[in-house]
Structure 1
Amino acid sequence: MNSQSALETALNHRSIRKFTEQAISEELFAQLIQAGQMASTSSFLQNVSVIRVRDRAIRAQIRAISAGQGGAGHHYVENCAEFLVFCIDGSRHKYYAVDAQLDWIECLMTGAIDAALFAQNMMLCAESCGLGGVFIGSIRNDINKLAEILRTPEFVVPVFGLCLGYPAQEPAQRPRLPAKIVVSENHYQFSKDIDLEAYNETVGQYYLERSNIELDWRKQIRNSLCTEVRPELLTFLQKQGYAKR
């Protein structure tokens, strides 16, 4: 199978939200799942499950959840070639050890990390083979409804979705934080105001050129974090058997 190098693929990443109607072959899909499974896993617990959502009616329900209040939702949830939901899954641990103490915060963290590593392995390999994709965190807008739709039992928590398919667009890359802001040496180093403001201007220019809108990173942070952030999640996690201590 022809594929780009991992480094070239990673450096060219961008989220794809428009896809052709071309299906992903079962052979390639199986290889991508296997690539995901080969990601590192904390203590070899492998506490990830993937729900492959093929039923269009179910996809439509998930799209409605991703819409939030009064929105149209992400159309690509419905029309991508493959839509996957990644779940923290401790149910197998309970099968092998009924006295497993999964209600510690640490178990939740390792599950979320495992799910992210699995999914990123899949995304990187998919992109190297000419596919594109986008992660969907907005499925958590109504996590109780999502769990009902996907019939996730105790100790299983759906955390994010992934749309995969063949790209029908070539979007520009969004500028990332400069490495000098992200990387510290030996001890944590606070970012300099001048560097943060310069980056904020870069993001603002990107959005102006891409969509002719006045938006920068400061505004994005305020829009995302200066309000309640899915306050029902803690209750749901505890109902599923996690985050009690």
Structure 2
Amino acid sequence: MNVAIETILNHRSIRHYKDQPLSDEQIRTLVESAQAASTSSYIQAYSIIGIKKKETKEKLAALAGNQPYVAENGHLFIFCADFHRHDLVAEMEQQDLSTSLESTEKFMVALIDASLAAQNTAIAAESMGLGICYIGGLRNNLEEVSKLLNVPKRVIPLFGLTVGYPVDESDKKPRLPVEHVYHEETYESNNEAVKNQLLHYNKQISSYYNERTDGKRNDTWTGQMANMLSNPTRMYMKEFVEKKGFNRQ
């Protein structure tokens, strides 16, 4: 097993960081690593906003559900779906590109491009001995986040990525069985087999929580998912996305 694969397989979310900012050189290296990710048709439909100021981090932490590690980290990256520059392309080339830019297909391209760039950043950071944690809570209130970050039309802040020097190393959380995720030739249609795999996974997760909390928690993955998904969240998203000039076609 090579070092790159060891880094990937050793991933865990870090939520406690030392009070030590990343250097400008480290930040640039991480951004260049993000840019090295694959991008659909060379569109590069994303941007990254870096947050250094403590005050701005604290405001974003409040908007993200008062998660302290959003405010306390070495650097905060905000990954955005971005077709603003392509509006400028339209002006420069004197063409109307709105039908394409407002399509569901191009919305998906922007989401995928940003996600690929972010994961490159995460792996690069971990290879440098840094810890990371993705922050989806920014989508709790994208209107306020967008105002704070001063993003124009056709730009949507999708999620944050905290990066920094770990105070300690958290436990590695068990993932779904490979057999449950990987299908060969066609999608697995034996639902009973899938349910049996989930029951086995439930035991793993229950044991993980039980050991980690000294018996105070032993919930299962399926129970966790059912509870979470029974309470729909961020239901304003479709309207917000369309208002920002995405996913209209």
Superposed pair shares fold, TM > 0.5? yes
- Shift in alpha-carbon separation, 1:57–1:23, aligned structure 2, 3 A: closer
Conservation of the 8 A alpha-carbon contact between 2:75 and 2:164: yes
Q: Which residue in 1 is equivalent to 2:209?
A: 207
- Scaled by the length of structure 1, what TM-score is found? 0.93
Is residue 2:246 matched to residue 1:242? Answer: yes
For structure 1, the residue ranges without an aligned partner over 5 or more in a row are: 68-72
- Range with greater deviation from structure 2 (155-164 or 214-223): 214-223
- Map of 1:114-193 to 2, 5 A cutoff? 114-190=113-189, 192=193, 193=195
TM-superposed CA distance for 1:141, in Å, is 0.5
Q: Which residue in 1 is equivalent to 2:200?
A: 198
Match of 1:13 among 6, 11, 14: 11
Q: Which residue in 2 is equivalent to 1:90?
A: 83
Q: % of aligned pairs identical?
A: 36
How far does the alpha carbon of each residue in 1:92-146 deviate from its partner, in whole angstroms, 9 at most, with x for none? Answer: 1111125222111111111010111001001101101100010000110011111
- Range with greater deviation from structure 2 (84-93 or 56-65): 56-65
Runs of 4 or more, structure 1, over 4 Å off, are: none
d(CA) in 1 for partners of 2:199, 2:132 = 30
Amino acid at match of 1:80: N
SS at match of 1:97: helix
CA RMSD, aligned part only?
A: 1.3
SS at match of 1:170: coil
d(CA) in 2 for partners of 1:58, 1:25 = 18
Amino acid at match of 1:50: I
TM-superposed CA distance for 1:224, in Å, is 2.4
Match of 1:230 among 218, 226, 234: 234
For structure 2, the residue ranges without an aligned partner over 5 or more in a row are: none
SS at match of 1:169: coil
Amino acid at match of 1:118: A
Match of 2:42 among 41, 44, 47: 44
- Scaled by the length of structure 2, what TM-score is found? 0.92
Amino acid at match of 2:198: L
